[in-house]
Structure 1
Amino acid sequence: KSALEALLFVSGNPLSMDKLKGIFDEATVDQIDMQLAVLRQDYDDRGAGIMLAEVAGGYQLATRPEHFGWIRKFKAVKVSTRLSKPALETLAIVAYKQPITRSEVEAVRGVNIGGIMRTLMERRLVKIVGKKDVPGKPMMYGTTQDFLQYFGLKDLSSLPTLKEFQELEAGEDVMEEVPTGDANAVAAPASEAEILEEEAAYADLAPEEETPSAEPTETAATAATRESQAE
């Protein structure tokens, strides 16, 4: 149990059962699962400040939600870790309707979301998952493992209801509304080069042709300004 706890402590990302089984190769899945349960119960019984959370298909040590206020004071969380209301709305559409093209998201929102989508990709919350088999071959987007980790979700079946997402949009800080997520545990933001490399992976297919939105096209700078004002 102590070795398991040590691994969870030093790991910056959730450890899957397959990963744990590969490390503890002499133990069975049932034995590892039992030790995880013992560890979780131990934290609960002691009222420890940390807990064992099942996140993004793996296991991770996390701080308890009730201590978030103190942790935020200590870490001095910056505004850059927050998601604006437009970004949350766009992310919710992608999460529930994935895989989905940019034009399909824009049809729901009624505005151009180019700048917002790029921001979500930089945060590693959204990624390109393929191209739609229709004329123009538009890129399709979906959520990432970091999305699950950010919101403290076990998998996509654990997605909150639309009402809960609306409550998130009504809040000022997404991390306060979903305290089980840990912005510090999310991978470093994707660089422009990484995003371009991801897009280039589909360059052998026809270029993306998406229907324009009902609203005038906005630049990335305009989108960023609108997001800032929305916060």
Structure 2
Amino acid sequence: MTDSDVTRRLEAILLIVDEPQSLVALATAVGAPVPAVRQAIEALADDYDGKAGGPRRAFELREVGGGWRVYVRADHDDLIAEFVGAQAPSRLSQAALETLAVIAYKQPITRGQVASIRAVNVDSVVRTLLARGLITELFTDAETGAINYGTTDELLVHLGINSLDELPKISPLLDGADEVADAAGDGYVR
């Protein structure tokens, strides 16, 4: 199989996947060695970025959540948001976004702890986030029987980041949070 065959086959796979694919998974799918796939991925990314002499495309090949996927470039976000919103809006409620943020920043965390932080019942919101695959049950506390929740790779994909370490530090967003964050030494509010 030639280099151009590997590149074309990879491009076909990348156009239909809805979640990032690892180099190993892509190599298996196209029947090529991982180094050849890595080289083809880099060539495709350069081509889409216009570095190969062609035009800069409206999409890019990005490594996210431990794999590769095609994404629309950020400068087209408004257009895509408007288009998708007109098709079938499926947004998270404010309550779901707040609950998801608490879980993302404080995980592992129990439903009761989230409810305590938000000062509201979060049962239905947690069920919604579980159903959408944005959070998962990590483990059950042996002493209390409480289920601890955390975020999933699906959330990373939706946010376009590789790890939760890329989330912004929350302390600059909250009045008085600097003292709490400084005490912990990491910029995160506890």
Give the TM-score normalised by the residue count of structure 1: 0.63
The alpha-carbon deviation at position 58 of structure 1 amounts to 1.0
The alpha-carbon deviation at position 165 of structure 1 amounts to 8.1
- Counterpart for residue 44 of structure 1: 49
Bigger RCO of structures 1 and 2 (CA < 8 A, at least 6 apart): 1
Q: 1:21 aligns with which of 15, 24, 27?
A: 27
Alpha-carbon spacing, 1:99–1:8, altered in 2? closer, same or farther (3 Å)? same
Q: 2:154 aligns with which of 129, 146, 168?
A: 146
The alpha-carbon deviation at position 157 of structure 1 amounts to 2.8
Matches of 1:165 and 1:146, distance apart in 2: 25
- Percentage of matched positions with identical amino acids: 35
Residues 102 and 114, structure 2, Cα contact 8 Å, conserved in 1: yes
Structure 1, residues 131-174: CA drift from partner, whole Å, max 9, x if none? Answer: 01223x111111112111111122233333326988xxxxxxxx
3-state SS in 2 of match to 1:160: coil
Residues 92 and 165, structure 1, Cα contact 8 Å, conserved in 2: no
- Counterpart for residue 178 of structure 1: none
Structure 1, residues 113-133: CA drift from partner, whole Å, max 9, x if none? Answer: 112112212222112122012
Count how many residue pairs are aligned between Structure 1 and Structure 2.
163
Q: How do residues 210-225 of structure 1 correspond to structure 2 at under 5 angstroms?
A: none
Structure 1 residues not aligned, in runs of 5+: 167-231
- Counterpart for residue 35 of structure 2: 30
3-state SS in 2 of match to 1:115: helix
Residues 99 and 114, structure 2, Cα contact 8 Å, conserved in 1: yes
- Counterpart for residue 126 of structure 2: 117
Letter in 1 for 2:40: Q
Alpha-carbon spacing, 1:163–1:44, altered in 2? closer, same or farther (3 Å)? farther
Is the counterpart of residue 4 in structure 1 residue 25 in structure 2?
Answer: no
Letter in 1 for 2:116: A
Q: How do residues 180-191 of structure 1 correspond to structure 2 at under 5 angstroms?
A: none
Matches of 1:142 and 1:106, distance apart in 2: 15
Give the TM-score normalised by the residue count of structure 2: 0.75
Matches of 1:18 and 1:152, distance apart in 2: 21
3-state SS in 2 of match to 1:62: strand
Is the counterpart of residue 58 in structure 1 residue 67 in structure 2?
Answer: yes
Structure 2 residues not aligned, in runs of 5+: 1-6, 175-190
Matches of 1:106 and 1:113, distance apart in 2: 6
Structure 1, residues 169-220: CA drift from partner, whole Å, max 9, x if none? Answer: xxxxxxxxxxxxxxxxxxxxxxxxxxxxxxxxxxxxxxxxxxxxxxxxxxxx
Matches of 2:22 and 2:168, distance apart in 1: 22
Matches of 1:159 and 1:25, distance apart in 2: 36
- Counterpart for residue 187 of structure 2: none
3-state SS in 1 of match to 2:49: helix
